[in-house]
Each structure stands twice: as structure tokens, then as C-alpha cells.
Amino acid sequence: MSIAILLVDDHPMFLFGLRTLIDTEPDMHVAGEVMTGAEAIAFVTTHPVDLVLMDIHLPNLNGIEATKRIREQRPDVRIVMLTMLDDDTVFHALKAGAHGYLLKGTRGAEMVHAIHAAASGEAIFSATVAQRIIQHFDAPPAVPAFAELTARERDILVLLARGLTNSAIAEQLSLSTKTVRNRVSDIFSKLHVHGRTEAIIKARDAGVQ
């Protein structure tokens, strides 16, 4: 059975190259070519398509949004994103429902393999993109500055770092001055500082402002 592929890109020469590559393969064919996200949605909803090769940067409606809408209407269609940039748009593409993410510099044989793999249900990524995904999920979760403080204490520290007095902080946070004074004392203790100036310096050094 031949894989019916829709090509979506606004660069005629790139479309020509993809079509030429696909036309050399006996088990796949170009079902259509369009140049905008809106046209891709319309085509998929009215023609038999197994797989979409979708550029991300398209006029009027980008490829990620088009992918999301196609997946809502045709969840059976596989979508592989194509892009010139190795960046974090891969995560937006995956959230939209894409099944793969390839760089446009992918060689012909690799592109053909990716089409076969995606059509058979695999998730396909260029090597550098796959490494980005691995690094993203391997990274330890970010620890917020001054995690030892409560949420309210962090709010007070932010205002403290901006130079507000206890009275001004109390007014802004709808607290009593006494409550703010006690919280400020707790903040000093938790941050191991001896006064307001040290607390402000420590907060600003940590990017709190």
C-alpha cells in the first residue's frame, strides 16, 4: 500500500526537492502540495492522506497551529514537522500532536526512513532534536530562589528588595505592620542575615527584585 503524503511548505524549491525524493520511492506518493496552514487543513479534511510533512513557519497560520487543528479533525493522520531551526519549538509541536520533528537539512535516505517510520507509528526526530529532548527531560528541576521561605515570605522579600518599608509592605499585601515585622524577622533568620541591608543584597544577588 502506497503512503499518501501531503507536502506543506511555502518554498517552491523545497517542495520540488521533497516531491522528487518521494516520487523515486515505489511505496509512497505525493497526494498534494499546499503552501499555507489553512490549505493544509482544508486538504486533509477532503482528501485521503496518511502523512503530512509540515513546515513550521507558514504564512497566516503556522504549522504548529495547523497540526493541532488537523489532529482534532483527523487523528488518524500522522504529522512530521519540518524546520530550518533546531530550537525549542519541538516541544510546542509535540504538544500540538506532531509525531516527528525533522530539520530541513536531513539527507534524502534519512527522510525516506523517517517517512516510513512515522507512517508505521514511530516517533521520529533528527539526531540534534532528539538530544535536545533528552537533555530537557534529564535536567534536574529548577530550584526556586530561597526555597526555604514560604510563598508569603517570598512576596515580602521581593518588596523588601525594592526598598519598601514595613508599613508600605503591609499596605500592599493587606497585612498588619506587626505581621510584616514578624515575617521580616523570620526571613532574616532563614536567610542567615543580620538586617535589612544584608537581606536586600542577598535577594538582589539571587535575582530577586
Q: Could you tell me the residue ranges of all domains in the chain? A: 3-138, 151-205
Q: What CATH class has 151-205?
A: mainly alpha
Instruction: Give the architecture-level CATH label for domain 3-138.
Output: 3-Layer(aba) Sandwich (3.40)
Least trusted range by pLDDT, from 20-24, 62-66, 147-151, 165-169: 147-151
pLDDT tens digits along 67-113: 999 999 999 999 999 988 766 788 888 889 999 888 888 889 999 99
Give residue 204's pLDDT: 83
**What's the pTM?**
0.63
Pure H helices in the chain: 12-23, 37-46, 63-73, 89-96, 108-119, 127-138, 151-161, 166-173, 177-191, 196-205
pLDDT tens digits along 168-207: 999 888 889 999 999 999 999 998 988 888 888 888 888 7
